[in-house]
Amino acid sequence: MGRIQLKQVTKSFGDVQVIPPLDLTIEDGEFTVFVGPSGCGKSTLLRLIAGLEDISSGSIDIDGADATNVPPAKRGLAMVFQSYALYPHMTVRKNIAFPLRMAKLDQAEIDKRVNGAASVLNLTDYLDRRPGQLSGGQRQRVAIGRAIVREPAAFLFDEPLSNLDAALRVGMRLEISELHKRLATTMIYVTHDQVEAMTMADKIVVLHAGVIEQVGSPLELYQRPRNTFVAGFIGSPK
């Protein structure tokens, strides 16, 4: 399960409110994309959901239970970082196993999950390599593998492809969409790239200065933008 509900959530840094009261429901199994220009609050919103930042007011429910004060490691969500967050001195196997070793799972269970993730991500032949011996796309898959092994209720991606070149980005978009189909797990994906949003999302959340301008499917947003901001943002190429 991975239904996430934000109720009247706000976030301030000092005196500056970057997220005014915001309500949002992310349905179980949905691929939701937060899109909007740089500085509009996408990362902040994702970090609030992950519990990496405390909300200033409001509440967050995960699968019907109040998770507002639940620490990040206990929320059952996995954040996927950019591939440069890998440990260069560890093998792929050790990198993927890392969160499970931290959680002190037994070795047989760790092996089973790492091998399963490697198989899903086509990394089986690369488990003994180190990140420096992999392509950019393979490194990104290792970063995703580290999330998969935790068997999270939802995956949270913050611009995971922004340090890949354009051609690789297109391939990785397809791979992440494919992974979503296969796992059928809730995914929240943050990007400032309209094309990424339009091609990957079941549901797009358009943010502007911490405010949700519109929520809808790519087709709904394209055909019936609620205002000129959405029309301009979705309509204009990057």
Round to whole Å and give the CA distance between 232 and 230.
Answer: 5
- Determine, following the binding rule CB under 6 A, whether residue 215 of this chain makes contact with ligand ADP: no
Round to whole Å and give the CA distance between 80 and 64.
Answer: 24
| For Mg ion, the closer CB: 44 or 214 | 44
Instruction: List the interface residues with ligand ADP, window 40-99 (CB under 6 A).
Output: 40-44
Task: Provide, rounded to whole angstroms, the least separation between the CB of residue 38 and ligand ADP.
Answer: 4
Q: What are phi and psi of 174, to 5 degrees?
A: -65, -40
Residues 133, 151, 161, 72, Cα dihedral to 10°: -110
- Determine, following the binding rule CB under 6 A, whether residue 197 of this chain makes contact with ligand ADP: no
Among residues 10, 18, 29, 43, the one that binds Mg ion under rule CB under 5 A: 43
Residue 138's binding partner among Mg ion, ligand ADP, none (Cβ under 5 to 8 angstroms by kind) is none
**In which element (H, E) is residue 18 found?**
strand 16-26
Single out the segment in contact with ligand ADP by CB under 6 A; choices: 38-46, 57-65, 84-92, 160-168.
38-46
- Determine, following the binding rule CB under 6 A, whether residue 22 of this chain makes contact with ligand ADP: no
Task: Provide, rounded to whole angstroms, the least separation between the CB of residue 51 and Mg ion.
Answer: 17
Region of 167 (left: φ > 0; alpha: ψ -120 to 50; beta: rest) is alpha
Single out the segment in contact with Mg ion by CB under 5 A; choices: 3-11, 36-44, 66-74, 207-215.
36-44
With a CB cutoff of 8 Å and minimum separation 6, the contacts of 155 are: 77, 78, 80, 147, 185, 186, 187, 188
- Determine, following the binding rule CB under 6 A, whether residue 39 of this chain makes contact with ligand ADP: yes
| For ligand ADP, the closer CB: 43 or 82 | 43
